[in-house]
Amino acid sequence: MSSAPAPAHGERSEGRRGSLAAPRLLRGDEYVADATRRIHDAKRRVLLTTLTIAHDHRTDDLIGALVAAARRGVEVSVAADVFSYADVAGTFLPTGYRTSAWRASDSLATRLMREGVRFSWLGREKGLPWRGRTHTKFCVVDDAVYAFGGVNLDRKGVENADFMLRIADARLADDLETVYHQIQHMNAHERGHESLAFRYGADRVLVDGGVPGDSIIYRRALALARRADRVILVSQYCPTGELGKVIGARENELWFNPPRNASPANRVLIASSMLWTGHRSLYTRRRYLHAKAIVFFRSGDAHAAITGSHNFVEGGVRLGTREIALETRRPETIAQILEFHARDVRGVGAG
């Protein structure tokens, strides 16, 4: 598993760099607390893209830090996805029928802009609401990066079983700033861009640009699964499509939410995916599982893992969802993912 493939058609590689600085896995509350401290000390830039952001007791300090940074002249930019706050009423009916959550989030956006934060909604509220969704999640604070996990910035997002990786690496921070601005540019034109791969030694950052049917993350997961003897998958959802079939043909452990853990819409999605694929989940805890990672094992070779925002379902690929992930062979990073799996997913030693 140690060799990196040539770029596929429609995929741009940004060339090889030296290895990344060592990542540290942070659970949801640890991520928010750590990012808040760094934002308070930020000197140059804070770039935050997230599916959801809301003003509540889990995020008050973080939002306060964003405002304080903007007031002292730091470039602070925040982007969130409009679909996150638009249910059927919010999407297809006039503004007066929008949900209280939408109105609260819009009020937060107004406050941030009034304080000097550059805030933007990603996506659109017409046509198929799931198409062009930005599921990418990362935060850049000067030369530190929080990425390659699934934590959303609201109470539920922070309290879910989830994590982010913190990596203090100026090259990665610069590359993700490029990704951030590219998302903004392509969103303004209601288009996606080709997949991107940034290489750092044996690790790669994978970026799905939002082109329907194109996902470098799904392709790499599929390629690694085909070469693996055993696979451990952690996801919000049951894996589907060709990836689900390939994983099912190998020794595997599948850990995703049982239908009872999910909202009504997601309950139907998970139950139907399980019925269609025949997969069953080993996850039995009540805490909502939101982390997304696969560890690939192969006898006599280095292990590999993909971790990030992608849920490893085919539907998001077809719709052109924007995503980001890290493909890694670094033993210490994989060990942290497996420790998270043992404690927060399996519940070993959780107390």
Q: How confident is the model at residue 16 (pLDDT cuts 50, 70, 90)?
A: low
Asked which of 8-22, 204-218, 254-268, 277-291 is least confident by mean pLDDT, the reply is 8-22
Phi-psi region of 347 (alpha: psi -120 to 50; beta: other; left: phi over 0): left
Give residue 47's pLDDT. 98
Question: What's residue 250's pLDDT?
Answer: 96
> Mind giving me the DSSP string for 65-81?
HHHHHHHTT-EEEEEEE
Return all residues near 137 (Cβ < 8 A) that are at least 6 apart. Answer: 49, 50, 51, 147, 149, 150, 151, 152, 164, 309, 324
Q: CA-CA distances (angstroms) from residue 331 to 23, 33, 176, 228? A: 11, 26, 24, 16
Judging by beta carbons within 10 Å of its beta carbon (0-12, 13-18, 19+), is residue 300 exposed, middle or buried? exposed
Arithmetic mean of pLDDT, 241-266: 95
List of domains in the chain: 24-176 (3.30.870.10), 191-346 (3.30.870.10)
DSSP class of residue 35 equals H
Give Rg (Cα) of the chain. 19
- Taking the C-alpha atoms of residue 95 and residue 99, their distance in angstroms, rounded to an integer, is 9
**What is the Cα–Cα distance from 177 to 179, expressed in whole angstroms?**
5
- pLDDT of 193 reads 86
At 9 the pLDDT is 45
Helices (H), the chain: 28-40, 60-71, 88-92, 100-114, 155-159, 170-188, 216-227, 241-248, 264-277, 314-319, 331-340
pLDDT bin (cut points 50, 70, 90) of residue 91 is very low
Q: Is the pLDDT of residue 86 over 90?
A: no
Distance CA 327, CA 205 (A): 6
pLDDT(266) > 70: yes
pLDDT at residue 76 is higher than 70 = yes
232 vs 103, higher pLDDT: 232
Q: Report the distance separating Cα 225 and Cα 238, nearest Å.
A: 15
pLDDT at residue 13, rounded to an integer: 62
The confidence score (pLDDT) of residue 238 equals: 97
Closest CA to 292 of 218, 228, 210: 218
- In the predicted model, what is the mean pLDDT of the chain? 88
d(CA 284, CA 282): 6
In terms of residues, how long is the chain?
A: 351
pLDDT, tens digit, 9 for 90 and up, residues 191-239? 888 899 999 998 999 999 999 999 999 999 999 999 999 999 999 999 9
- Which residue in the block uniquely carries the two structure tokens 């959801």? 52
Alpha-carbon distance of 140 to 159, in angstroms, equals 22
pLDDT per residue as tens digits for the range 19-49: 999 999 999 999 999 999 999 999 999 999 9
pLDDT band for position 72 (50/70/90)?
Answer: very high
Q: 144 pLDDT exceeds 60?
A: yes
Q: CB atoms < 10 A from the CB of 197, how many?
A: 21
Please tell me the predicted confidence (pLDDT) of residue 126: 47
Mean local confidence (pLDDT), 87-112: 58
The predicted structure's pLDDT at residue 1:
53
Q: What confidence category does residue 102 fall into, taking pLDDT thresholds of 50, 70 and 90? A: low
Beta bridge partners of residue 208, listed in sequence order: 323
The torsion region of residue 190 among left (phi > 0), alpha (psi -120 to 50) and beta comes to left
